Structure 1
Amino acid sequence: MRIGLLTRNRKAWCSQQLIRSFKNRGVDVACFSFGDIVARVGLKPSASAGDIDLLTGLDGILVRPIGRGSLEEIIFRLNLLQKLARSGLTVINSPSSIERAADKYNTLAILSEHGINVPRTVVTENVARAMSAFKEFGEDVIVKPIFGSRGIGAARISNYDVAERVFRTLRFQRQILYIQEYIWHGTSDIRAFVVGDNVAGAMRRVSDSWKTNISKGARAEPLSLSQEIEKLAIKTAKAIGCEIAGVDLIDEGGKVTVLEINSQPGWRGLQTVTDKSISDTIADYVISRSR
Structure 2
Amino acid sequence: MWEGSRSILGILTRNPNGFGSSSLLEAARRRGVTSFYFRFRDIIARVGGGPPLQVRGLNVKDINSVIVRPIGRSSLDQAIFRLDALYTMEDLGVHVINKPSAIERSMDKYRSLYLLHKRGIPVPETVVVEDPSIAFEFMRTMPDIVLKPVFGSRGHGSTRISDRDLAWNILREQAFFRHVIYMQRFIPHRRRDIRAFVIGNEVIAAMVRENPESWKTNVAMGAKPKPIKLEGELEDLAIKSTEILGCEVAGVDILLSESGNAYVLEVNSQPGWRGLQSVTKVNIAEKIVDYAILTSKR
- TM class, shorter-chain normalised? over 0.9
Correspondence 1:183 to 2:187 = yes
CA distance in 1, matches of 2:91, 2:153: 28
Correspondence 1:33 to 2:39 = yes
* Partner secondary structure for residue 102 of structure 2: helix
- Measured against aligned partners, the alpha-carbon deviations of 1:64-93 in whole angstroms (never above 9, x if no partner) come to 122221011011000111111112211110
- Measured against aligned partners, the alpha-carbon deviations of 1:176-221 in whole angstroms (never above 9, x if no partner) come to 1111000011111000001001001000011120111111111111
The number of aligned residues is: 289
Equivalent residues of 2:87, 2:100 under 8 A apart: yes
1:199 maps to amino acid? V
C-alpha RMSD of the superposition: 1.0
Structure-2 residue corresponding to 1:236: 241
Unaligned runs of 5+ in 1: none
1:282 to partner: Cα distance: 0.6
CA distance in 2, matches of 1:105, 1:269: 26
CA distance in 2, matches of 1:247, 1:92: 16
Correspondence 1:156 to 2:160 = yes
1:24 maps to amino acid? R
CA distance in 2, matches of 1:133, 1:265: 32
Q: For structure 1, which segment, 268-277 or 46-55, has the greater mean C-alpha deviation from structure 2 after superposition? A: 46-55
Aligned match for 1:18, one of 9, 13, 24? 24
Structure-1 residue corresponding to 2:113: 108
CA distance in 2, matches of 1:127, 1:269: 37
1:183 maps to amino acid? I
Equivalent residues of 1:127, 1:171 under 8 A apart: yes
1:244 to partner: Cα distance: 0.6
Correspondence 1:272 to 2:282 = no
CA distance in 2, matches of 1:126, 1:61: 40
Equivalent residues of 1:133, 1:179 under 8 A apart: no
* Partner secondary structure for residue 75 of structure 1: helix
Structure-2 residue corresponding to 1:46: 52
- Measured against aligned partners, the alpha-carbon deviations of 1:235-285 in whole angstroms (never above 9, x if no partner) come to 001111111111000123542110111110000000111111111111111
1:87-166 to 2 correspondences below 5 Å: 87-137=92-142, 139-166=143-170
2:40 maps to amino acid? F
Correspondence 1:262 to 2:271 = no
TM-score between the two structures when normalised by the length of structure 1: 0.97
Equivalent residues of 1:134, 1:179 under 8 A apart: no
Equivalent residues of 1:202, 1:224 under 8 A apart: yes
Equivalent residues of 2:200, 2:248 under 8 A apart: yes
CA distance in 2, matches of 1:142, 1:114: 24
1:128 to partner: Cα distance: 1.9
1:93 maps to amino acid? N
1:46 to partner: Cα distance: 1.3
CA distance in 1, matches of 2:260, 2:165: 35
* Partner secondary structure for residue 189 of structure 2: coil
1:250 maps to amino acid? L
CA distance in 2, matches of 1:191, 1:135: 32
Percent same amino acid among aligned pairs?
Answer: 46
Structure-2 residue corresponding to 1:59: 64
* Partner secondary structure for residue 282 of structure 2: coil
Aligned match for 1:198, one of 187, 202, 205? 202
TM-score between the two structures when normalised by the length of structure 2: 0.95
* Partner secondary structure for residue 140 of structure 2: helix
